[in-house]
Every structure is written in structure tokens, then in C-alpha cells.
Amino acid sequence: MVSTYFGYNYITRNLKQSLTRVEQQADVAREAAYYKANIGKVKTVDDFMKDYRLYHYAMKAYGLEDMAYAKAFMKKVLESDLNDSKSFVNKLVDKRYQEFAAAFSFNGTATPVAQSENQTDEMIGLYTATMKSQVDALADDTNYYNSKIGGITSADQLLNDDRLRNYVYSAFGIDESKWPRDTISQVLRSDPSDPNSYVSTTFTSQLTGLNAQLTQAKSDVSATNTKIADYTAQLSQPGADVAQLNVQILVEKYHLETYTKSVSSLNDQISTIGEFGDLAGAFEFSADGSLPSGVPAQTAANITLTKKQFDDSKSAVYAAASPLSEAAAIKNFRNAILNINSVQSLVSTPAVYDFALGAVGLDPKQVSQATVKAVLESDLSDPKSYVYTLKDNRYVELARAFNFDAKGNLTTPLVAQDRAEVLQIAKDYVIQAVKSASTASTQQQAAVRAQATKDATDYQEAIAGIDSVSDLLANRPMVDFILLAKGLDPRKVSDEFLKKIFASDLNNPKSFANTQSDPRFAEIVASFNFDSKGNVARLPMMGPQKRDQFRETQANYLQQSLEQQQGDTNPGVRLALYFQRKAGEITSAYDILADKALSEVFRTTFNLPDSMAAMPIDQQAKFVDKFMKIKDLSDPAKVEKLLGRFSAMYDVKNSESTGQGQSPLLNLFQGSSSGISSMSESTYLAIAKLRAH
């Protein structure tokens, strides 16, 4: 039989080729093809477990073949909530069950909601910022007006400055869409005290007639209300002609509507005339539009009056930005958003509709609901979708803030990484950081863990703002965080390399990412929801698995097949390959001691007796830390050196039994206990002390 040392080194130095050979084996290829063709048809846990080939394929991939019979147990594993520390799977000591549960998403990747918590928080932050910016903009407008009005020398000069004109129009209630600029120019040139001026002859002269009409219209409204009340009272009288009375009531209601509109229209006309009079009186322009020599466009008093009227016209903006109003709007939004289940319900809920439009700087009174509905139903991944035809980024912001499909129904949030992936990356980062400090003092370890936890929290918040590959790669600290979480050295990974990795088509086995010797780069790409153009998208699932879950399952199946086949020839090679695969997940001595195969590798490497397993666990952990630095297990070169020593020691230890049937070490992968020798603890300690020297 080929030695363990040679067999292991040959496999690891040609790992990709070894896995390719396994992948091409007829039985392996057949099962992989079946899994790929049928996993997408699975909708429930029961569907999955009823398909013998799918179920056993996955169980083998995660090293759980010996538990395939326990379907009730495995169903509870798959139905567990990994985010709940008290769930069934999280109470199990063996991490393989958690890995198996994490490989599937039977409850979906996320719950369809109008907004995720991050989206709600972002919208509230945007609303607060928009309210402040609007108030700041009003202050800027006033400062601009005050700085420029002293230099104005004619009415036309005032009207030709967009900011000054808009300021004056707002202050005096002038609707630019209704009144031509020439009309306003003539008003500015008028003296309201001169009965022959333009404003007096064209507008003020109408006041007497308009007021008389208003008085009559109000009288008509009152008389009509009286008639309606009288007819309504007659309906209950004996012998009343109900049909005729109802006709009379309808006629009078029609009259009432006409008179009411007249009152409103007349009030508007009278108000406009008053505003024109105020406008004319607020400026000193002559009839030709110029200013008398040495006379400013406005007196100090009129500048103050104009500012007051401008502020009054913007009272809604100031009110909305007040701390009390803002707090109330936010509270109402938070409560109402939870009940939104469609685009229609959103546009029908002012607490959400007005808040959302206000947050992105849109006025609900000036935007049609039809436009908003079409925006919210747009596909952001399609550059030809409706929202982009508007060429207004405010609408794009609005669409990104909610989760609706093309039919206006709820869908899942559009995120660069699903929550499970984000949490896994954050968890892996903390693990790597803690491992790097395994030889430090307890106080230093606590500090490292605290900082790593803070970094992980920052990552979870920052990843929500990533909308494309470009966004991600532009944030090098975030990229380095991900690389470190995967056990990779950021200093050895260039920006150009990362661009090629993320531009790879993971469905093409010959793509740049898939041809790398280190599969972790492809794993990183698979953990993100980027489409072929590098934008965040809702990628389709393969039944109960996302892209990265499916890839991991197939990769694990190949690795397990390779390890099992090597174990049939030499169990030592299987042990070494297993340790190499698990090394990156080891965070403490207890991880090694909790795994029989890992423990066997440790004891064999350092020529320690099997009786060590009978010692108290804390004492065993001390010896693991004495012989091995846990942080070194994150360094592939040091792991390779360690396993080289293991291979040699394994061959020495098993030289007498080489070629004599199945090794008892296979029991390590089949659930049976390791044999315990009769060597006493005191003898072991004596031997260990000698070896330590």
C-alpha cells in the first residue's frame, strides 16, 4: 500500500486534478447531474426527503450519511431557525447539523415585506435629512434675496433672475403657471395709490363688483342650505310626496355645489387682486420699470415684509421640519409601513405615501399616484423600465426604498447579500480574529474579540448600502473584511484580481473564478446577489437552495467522495484530508477534542497515547494548546507542515498493520468510539512530559 505521507502529499499537491477525476467518475457524475436537474423541483422538506437520491446526496455532502435513516430527526434540523439560539439545531453539539441546515432555505431567503428594517431606517434618515435640507434651502434663498435685491435696478432685471423671481412669487402667492411674466412686470411698475396705474385699473377696480358677487353667492349658499333642510324635514311628514321632495333636494344640492364653487372662485380672485396690490406696493419701480435715481428696489421695511410673507408661504415646510412634527410623522410611518401589503395600499395610506415622497424630495400634491405606482412596480435591474424613463433620481430612490414586483405585490428586499450570508461573514471574521489572538493574554483576547465584534456590526450596517460590484470594490476596507473572514490575506489580493473574480460567470467551469486553485474566491462571489452586469438583483433560487448553497453542496459532495475513496485505501490519508478541510473552522482546543477524527490526528501527530481521551477535558485542552498554536491552523502552509508530520507518524504507528484489512480508524467516520488503552493517566503524563522536552 502507498504510504500515508506520499498519498496525502500527492492528493494535496494535485487537489484540483484529484477532484476533477472524482467528478468525472460515472457514479459521481450521475448523482451530481440528478441533483442539479431535480433540486429545483423541491418545494418542501417532505418533497426533499421523499426523493432518496436528492436526500442521500446532500447527507453525504455534509458527512451525515450514517444519519440518513433518522428522517424525523433530520426534518427537525432542516426546519430549525439558525438565527434562534434556542432552536433544535442550535442545541446540537455536532456542527455538521448546523452546516446542513444552513445549506437550505426552505423558509425562503427572506420574508416579503414592503420594507426591511434597514430600508425603513434609511428612509427615516433620508426624511430627516430632506426636511433639514429644505429648511436650509429656504434660508439660502432668503440670504440670496437679501444679497441681491440691493443691486436690482429694474423690474425686468428682477424677473430675469430665477431665484429672485421665485422668491417674490412665493412671498406674494403668485402662480407662475397662471400669470404671464408681462402681467407681473406691469404690476411691479404700478403705484397702487394711483387710480390710473395698471394694477388699479386692471385689478383693483374689479373689487367692488367682485365683493358684491361674493355677497350674493354667500347669500345663495345660505338660502340653498335652508331649502335643503326644509325639503329634508318634509320627508318625514304624513302624506309627503317623497319622490318629488328627493328630486327637489337633488336640484338644490346641485345649486349648492355651483354657489359654493362661485364663493371659492370669487375669494381666489379677490385674494389675487389683494396680492397684486401688495406686490405693487412692495417695490419702488417707475412706470417704465426703472428706479428713480438713488431709490432702491425695496425699502428696508418692505424687504422685511417680503421675507415674512415668504416664510409664511413656506409654513408647511417649517412645520414638517419641527422636532415634534417630524417625530410624529416618523412614528406614524413606522406603524403604518407594517400594514402595507401592496402598491395600492401604499398610495392609499397618507402616513406612508406622503412620508415616502417627502423623504425623496417629491411633493405628493404635484405627483400623480399613477406615476408613483408605475415607479414602485419598475424593475430596477432593467435599464428600460419605467422609472429610468423619468430621468429623475428621486424616483429611483423611491423605487429602491420599497419591495414590490411588477404586479404591485410584496417581494423580498433587494440586497447585495442575504441576511444569512451577512451573518456568516460577520461570524467568520470574529472567529478569524479570535484565532489570531489565541496565544495572547485573556485581557488582550477580550479586546480583540470586542473590536472584531464592532467591525462585524459595522459590516452588517455598511453592506446594506452596496448596490453593485463597483460599490463593493470601491470600498477596500469592506473587501478586506470579507477576505479576512475567509481566511485570506488581503495584502496578497489585488484590486485587478478582484475585478476579474467578480466578472466571472460562476456557471462556466472555465471562468476565471472557477479555475483558481483556491475555491474561496468563487465562494465569495457566490455569496453576493450580483447579476451579469454587476448590479444587485434578485437571483433565482434552485428550489430550496440559493446559488452559493447549491455550489457548496456539490463541492462538499466531491470532497466527501474523494476522502471516502482515499480512506478505502488508506484511512490515514482520509484523516489528513479531513483535518485539512476542517482546520480553518477550529477556534479552540475544544473544537479538536469534540471531534474524534481531529483528536486522532492531533494525538498521532505528537505521538500521544489514545488514553489521553480518558483525561478530564480541561486537562486535554491544556495539552492541545501546549503542542499546537490554534492560530497556525489559519495558515495553509503551517497546516500542510503539521499534516506532513502526521502522515509520517501515522505510517510509523500503523506500519505493522499496513495492508491488513480495514483500519479501526474508519470508525471515526462511522459514529463508533475510539479504543481506550489501559495506559494509566500517570504513565501518560510521564510520557507527555518527556516528549515536551
Per-residue model confidence as pLDDT tens digits over 222-261: 999 999 999 999 999 999 999 999 999 999 999 999 999 9
The amino acid occupying position 503 is A
Residue % of the chain over a pLDDT of 90: 74
Instruction: Decide if 383 contacts 371 (C-beta within 8 A).
Output: no
- For residue 133, is it within any domain? no
Query: Is 454 in the same domain as 483?
Result: yes
Query: Is 647 in the same domain as 579?
Result: yes
Residues with pLDDT less than 50, the chain: 657-667, 669-693
C-alpha grid cell for residue 553? 453542496
3-class SS of residue 482: helix
Q: Looking at residue 412, what is its pLDDT? A: 85
- For residue 389, is it within any domain? yes
Query: Is 488 in the same domain as 608?
Result: no
The pTM for the full model equals 0.63
Q: Looking at residue 108, what is its pLDDT? A: 64
DSSP string, 312-356: HHTHHHHHHHSHHHHHHHHHHHHHHHTT--BHHHHHT-HHHHHHH
Instruction: Decide if 326 contacts 317 (C-beta within 8 A).
Output: no
C-alpha grid cell for residue 490? 488581503
Instruction: Decide if 526 contacts 532 (C-beta within 8 A).
Output: no
Query: Is 497 in the same domain as 598?
Result: no
- For residue 406, is it within any domain? no
Secondary structure of 507-531 in HEC code, one letter for each residue: CCCCCCCCCCCCCHHHHHHHCCCEC
C-alpha–C-alpha distance, residues 359 and 124, integer Å: 7
- For residue 329, is it within any domain? yes
C-alpha–C-alpha distance, residues 351 and 32, integer Å: 52
- For residue 313, is it within any domain? no
3-class SS of residue 490: helix
Task: Tell me how many degrees the CA angle 375-371-325 measures, rounded to the nearest 5.
Answer: 85
Residue 428: name the closest of 634, 589, 625 by CA.
634
- For residue 656, is it within any domain? yes
Query: Is 639 in the same domain as 674?
Result: yes
Q: Looking at residue 662, what is its pLDDT? A: 44
HSE (CB half, 13 Å, CA atoms) of 255? 18
Query: Is 161 in the same domain as 285?
Result: yes
Query: Is 170 in the same domain as 291?
Result: yes
C-alpha grid cell for residue 584? 480553518
C-alpha–C-alpha distance, residues 440 and 512, integer Å: 39
Query: Is 197 in the same domain as 270?
Result: yes
CATH number where 382 lies: 1.10.3700.10
Q: What is the pLDDT of residues 292-308, one digit of tens each?
A: 999 999 999 999 999 99
Query: Is 284 in the same domain as 351?
Result: no
Residue 337: name the closest of 272, 408, 250, 401 by CA.
401
Please tell me the total count of domains within the chain: 5
Q: Looking at residue 472, what is its pLDDT? A: 95
Query: Is 193 in the same domain as 171?
Result: yes
C-alpha–C-alpha distance, residues 236 and 245, integer Å: 11
- For residue 135, is it within any domain? no
Residue 643: burial class (beta carbons within 10 Å; 0-12, 13-18, 19+): buried
Query: Is 374 in the same domain as 266?
Result: no
- Give every CB contact of residue 147 below 8 A, 6+ residues apart in sequence: none
Of the three residues 349, 370, 400, the one that is the final residue of a domain is: 400
- For residue 637, is it within any domain? yes
Query: Is 426 in the same domain as 384?
Result: no
Running DSSP on this structure, what letter comes out for residue 179?
S
Q: Looking at residue 517, what is its pLDDT? A: 86
C-alpha–C-alpha distance, residues 575 and 581, integer Å: 10
Structural domain containing residue 479: 419-540
Q: Looking at residue 109, what is its pLDDT? A: 60
Instruction: Decide if 376 contacts 346 (C-beta within 8 A).
Output: yes
